[in-house]
Every structure is written in C-alpha cells, then in structure tokens.
Amino acid sequence: MLNFLISRFIGYVPKPIVKKVSTRYIAGAKLDDAIRVIRALNGSNALATVDVLGEFVNTTEQVTLSMAHDIEVLDTFFREHVLSNLSIKLTSLGLNIDYELCCRNVKKILECATQYNNFVRMDMEDSSCTRKTLDVYKRMRSEGFTNTGVVLQAYMRRSAADIDALPRENLNVRLCKGIYIEPESIAYKGYEEVRNNYKLLLRKLIDTGAYVGIATHDEALIQDAYALINERNLPKTAYEFQMLLGVREERRSQIIRDGHRMRVYVPFGDDWYGYSTRRLKENPQIAMNVVKSLFGIS
C-alpha cells in the first residue's frame, strides 16, 4: 500500500531524483547506450526490443526526426549484429497529425526492416489511439508486410473483440496489462479483473494461432502462462516472455533458464521523464526506489 501511495504522488518528486532512479530502467540518452545494453542482454541469452523515447509529437518536423531515428536504429542493429527488433509509437510518426502521413512513415520503417530481415512492433498508447493504431496495423498487413506486430492491453474492455478483427495469418501480438489512466466505461479497474482478462486474452490469442509476446512481471500471470504452455504443449517458437529493462531481473533470468524465449524492452533517448513516471506508476514497487534515493538509502 505504501508503494502504491508513493507511485500516485510521483509527479511531485523532483526530476533529478526521478532521473537518478530511472537510469536502471532506461539504457541512456544515446543509441550507443542502447547497443551496449542489448549486447549485455544478448550475452545472457535474452533478446531485445528498442523504443526511441518520444511520443505525442505535434509538428511535422518532429515526426520527420522521429522516423529518421527509427531508421537509424534499424541500420545500427544490422551493422552491429545485435539481436533486437524495434518498437515504434505511432504518435511519434504523425498519428495525431495526419493519418496518411503516419502510414507513409510506418511503411518506410517496415521497408527498411524488411531489407534487414527484422521486425517492428507497433506500440499501443492511450485509448484515443487504439482504433487508429489497429487500423494502421491492419493496413500494413494488407499491403503485404508480415514483419510487424501490434500490442493489446488486457485492461481494455474492447481487446477481445479487437482480436477477432485482426488478420489471422502471421498474427503477432504483445499482450500487456496497460498503463494509461482510462475511464471505467472502457477499461477494467479491478486488479483481479485485469488479471482474469489477461488470462482469457492469452488463451484466445493462442487459440487463433498467434505468436504472443507474454509481457508481464506479475508472478500470477507468469505462472498461468507456464501452465498454459504445458497444457497446450506449445513449442518454444509459438511465444516469448517480455519484460521491461531493470524490472525483476532474477525472475527474468529464471525464465530463460527454464528454456523460454525472453525479450527485454529497452528504451533510450532524451525524453525520459514521461516514460519514467509512467513506469513508476505502473510498478509501485519501483516507486520505493525513489524514496530510498530521496533519503540516501541504498
């Protein structure tokens, strides 16, 4: 409860303190920092997906810069021979400015990824973006791109219906709980409600033949996924576990030792504050680290 209360007031914590804590969860400001972290993850038998921090941009100049950064990331992965794919936020590529502009930018990124035999995940943002993000995903799939996936959030009431509307062939979905604050009319609010819907959605995705990124740090959901994998006798190529950088590292290592594929979400960039505060609100246990930093407790 204390951790939860701390996380609710994280916006009042001085930015230098948040930055100090966030260094565990963000690779750094530069792409070189991300490459260093990816190499370490690859050395421990983990894969990565990289997020260039920055979203909800509002000028075409910022959009152009964001797309250039994404292309640079893919170029660098290929040149440096690291095992990582790319996660993109569509608002950074013009989703809220011009839908067609966003589609053109996503297409260019997917074309680059195709050239390198790499994969691009379209991240999910708040509910104002859900329909448009899924529309972009379906459009790119209809144009022949199979090297892309999308994200569904278990707290959203619409997610089960969204699964039904997605293309079946080569479907690739990251399933997470969801972190944005949404009204109860469209999102489950109860802790067990969200957990139960996560379990239902995971089974629904597996039943459709989707490749699923099981993105959770929740031990109950990890154990449920283990049970489902054993029950369905799923091959290791049918799914992967996913975790955030710096969170539950020992559990991450154990999942790898258990023989499962693991991918770690590696954010980098200058726009660290918004990401950090969302992560702290999502993971109340992390918030205690802020208090320790405030009072110099190791």
Active site residues: 123, 174
Q: Which amino acid is at 170?
A: N
- Residues 171, 150: Cα–Cα separation, whole Å: 9
Going by C-alpha positions, the residue among 132, 67, 59, 53 that lies closest to residue 104 is 67
Q: How far is CA 103 from CA 63, 93, 96, 138, 268, in A?
A: 12, 8, 12, 11, 24
Question: Which of helix, strand or coil describes residue 263?
Answer: strand
Burial class (CB in 10 A: 0-12, 13-18, 19+), 184: exposed
- Residues 174, 177: Cα–Cα separation, whole Å: 10
Eight-class DSSP state of 143: T
Question: Which of helix, strand or coil describes residue 104?
Answer: helix
**Phi first, then psi: what are they for 82, rounded to 5°?**
-105, 155
**Phi first, then psi: what are they for 237, rounded to 5°?**
-85, 0
Length of the chain: 298
What residues contact 208, with CB distance under 8 A and at least 6 apart? 163, 168, 171
